[in-house]
A and B are shown apart, each in its own frame.
Chain A
Amino acid sequence: MATNPSQLLPSELVDRCVGSRIWVIMKGEKEMVGTLRGFDVYVNMVLEDVIEYEMTPEGKRVTKLDQILLNGNNIALLVPGGMPDEEE
């Protein structure tokens, strides 16, 4: 195994986000914002007070969800701190 030159492992960064807002950008035209409650080795995530944004040809579709388990399979990017202009 090569040594990791960075001070922080990616999973440690995610762990630091537990309890705060996180912005999840999926592969494809979908984004979610929610409070991270926990995650596992696949970065499947438990999110609370979620807002789901779907970019469709008809425009942005917004769905609010109480608590979800998000499959880690389709996650592209994670942004700690949430979305800059969350409330639409």
Chain B
Amino acid sequence: MAEEDTTVKEPLDLIRLSLDERVYVKLRGDREIRGKLHAYDQHLNMILGDVEETITTVEIDDETYEEIVKTTKRAVRYLFVRGDAVTLVSPPLRT
């Protein structure tokens, strides 16, 4: 098969088709990152570039019992994601 295969036959094809695109990755511990997918392997270890990490924490106010949702963002130029921490990967919307 010489031509570029754009069909999704197995789940990892979805990742293959997202190479060099910005992807959204959800990780264990309520962590989310967005970045450009440079490389991945079968474990879903990934190399992402120009990454924005979002950390969400929920605290309960001691007096009012209201949930206080805090999100912290930080930017990372380049990072390695260990596959076993990944729960979900969503490629950019294709039209």
The answer to whether any beta carbons of A and B sit under 8 Å apart in the complex is: no
B residues with a Cβ closer than 8 A to A are none
A residues with a Cβ closer than 8 A to B are none
